[in-house]
Structure 1
Amino acid sequence: MSSQQAQLQRQMEQVKTAVADALAQADKAGASAAECAISRSSGISVGTRLGEVETVEFNQDGALGITVYRDQCKGSASTTDLAPQAIKAAVSKACEIARYTSSDPAAGLAPAEMMAYDYPDLNLYFDADQSADYALQQALACERHALGLDARIVNSDGASYSSHAGFRVYGNSHGFIGGYLQSRQSLSCVLIAKQEEQMQRDFSYSVARDQQQLLSPAVVAEQAAKETLARLNARKIDTAKVPVIFRADVANSLFGHLVGAISGGNLYRKSSFLLDSIGQQILPDWLTIEEQPHLSGALASSPFDNEGVRTKTQTIIDKGQLQTYLITSYAARKLDLPVTGHAGGIHNWRVSHGEQDLAALCKQMGRGLLVTELMGQGVNLVNGDYSRGAAGFWVEHGEIQYAVEEITIAGNLADMFKQIVAVGNDVDHRHGVLTGSVLIEQMRIAGN
């Protein structure tokens, strides 16, 4: 174990002691149940623009959140001071708040038998150089390389580099206190290109837990330049109904809407177009989505959720059929359904795919739209209506012809999911949903 890791480990153990103290204080104060959580992170973020240093920020954050329950009345407080007296004061404040809140039959902890008392080490922490010199070197090298790649790249919105490390600790009055170390690094570059009177902007980025797995500054720069230059001479297109490919880096948003539609909060509020859909065919029968929370070093891995519930590998969609909703303990009581370990979100959804890369998907589509950017929030999860601004490329005869902009794509998510024709093998690993590009049979395109 390195000195960096050892120091973080000691800090985490101290926080576990503080959590145990808070839970004991809550018990003494007469709480029927209590839970505490803290995510502490420290590191550096830097930004450069046109080869000059623009920002250098060192940051450290993370407060201990304390929630107590008194006969299903809930009170919460937080403190950044973990001294015994500060913790006692926060617990007292949470108990006082609980006296004034209304009783909620659904309030409380997740079931004791579902706690992750024995949880695995998922290798989510890696040592990193967090010096200002190193961070600035990465950002400056990326931007300077990008600016020298092509005369049409005339400006930059900057490059940024960040490196953060810390830990997460959760405990409750079931006797569970767990914690794990985690790290995250990122590098990005935003460029502006000009040809004649038209200017276009685009970017690229890399993110990983391990600093050694980040793409190099040169590669990020070259990807940003390629994306930006490709958008030059963008055109508007006529309104039409055509096939649409969501490129992998935006395709995850489609399945993000699925996450929202099957999440307990929207279900008990009856704010989802997928109510009463367990066992129903909502995707093509060749498509399966499996959740794998314990992938070593993955960005969305977690040994337990935000309620201490053990995470597990499970099939979300089996041959197109919905197998489970995503249920927290609160939603479970509202809906009379089992807890699924999704408090705080999903954990590495793997979307099944074929052997085709993006170029092969374009050939399969023949004529249609390749979407590379989405704008706006025109998605209604109550009825599934979908309408968002978009940009990308027009495809004819299976080949990209030119960039397009100022268009709107529209449809209904229920139909869009069922009309998925293929998923490519170009999986983007920078998100919690691991998917390749997605070809949809038909959508409405509003252009000229």
Structure 2
Amino acid sequence: MTTLNAKLASQYPAHIAQLQQMTKAALSRENLEGLVIHSGQEIKAFLDDNCYPFKVNPHFKYWLPLIELPNSWLVVNGEDKPTLIYYQPVDFWHKITPLSESYWGEYINIKILTNASEVDKLLPYDKKGFAYIGSHIEVAKALGFEAINPESLLNYIHYHRGYKSKYEHECLRQSNTLAVKAHQAARNAFLQGDSEYDIQQAYLKSIGYGTNDTPYGNIVALNKNCSILHYMSLDKVPPQAHRSFLIDAGANFNGYAADITRTYSYKNDKFAELIVRMDQLMLKAVAGLKPGVSYVDLHIETHRAIGQVLRDFNFINVDADIAVESGIISTFFPHGLGHHLGLQVHDVGGFMADERGTHVDTPASHPFLRTSRLIEANQVFTIEPGLYFIDSLLAELKASPNADQVNWKNVDEMRCFGGIRIEDNIIVHQSHNENMTRDLGLN
């Protein structure tokens, strides 16, 4: 057994015990006997016999590190050993992933399913006491489930998913390890003058990924394209001049996601100085992640700090407090500070005040925040402040009564660079923060 597998093997039992305890409490609240968690099914494209890339139900991979397993099921009741109904068809068309029992095997009962349509023979006979958790509602109804994704049940689970176990922390460290290696390869490709497409290929090749293996579509942008927040076009021809490079790209380990962003300047110029300043700002925001602090307050504090950067670099001619009051900072920083991270890139539970799912509203002036929940130990976040020169938002500002607060000549000089975003992945411990991304040497 490798050192990593030994570590996971030592942490997994406590993770399963935590899930069992949570499930038992949830079932008691809902007066249910158990959960039937569907891994999902492959979905065919319209009028075609090819399927979209399979994405496993996050509730399924919460229990097991199996992310490429359609037509499988997990039956749990919070007390007995969970039962995995493992789909293993006889198929000469496709490669079948064989059952490989690792450190998790002794904690799971396994039943083999060879024909997906015969799963009802292996599921609980009387389904009245069981809730179906999954996305295939018609399948659940056909099988006789009455409780399908009960909202109050999911709220309870989603709230508790905000607290990560030591096993989950280790999986997130490993996903960061993969992503950092790939980010370093992408940076080298940028510095040698490659196209966006070739930079993406360098990223994927460095960790042996195909395009569909990343947890989200990689953002690989050069020059002005850095101003498009979710840019995914990938030009195959290098630009005439390399000025800037923004990469927002992640990796997966056992179904847990890394989500890292870096911005680089090709030359040692004013844009490079701006990147250094934004990096300092980002690390200050990381330091502000503390148990008991409001994430909303941390976002607002960082929002104002970006106003100070705009003033110090002479992009605006008013002080930061006036820029906050007038709202012009949102033109340059139009998104939230970050989000919860885990089984999903934008992990669930970020707006919940309690186990009932009571919603915590974000301020009207900051509508794009992805979490409003109080920061607590064992939560995992991204911190990703940005500063952009987006033509459409700048045009709106220029046409507004606040246009005179901007030094347009200085702003116009930066449009060709697009913008900056820097993002690290952080575990909040009771006594300190663990910056997984920086600990791996990605500065």
Does the alignment reach a TM-score above 0.5?
A: no
| Structure with a larger share of its residues in helix | 2
TM-score by length of 2: 0.29
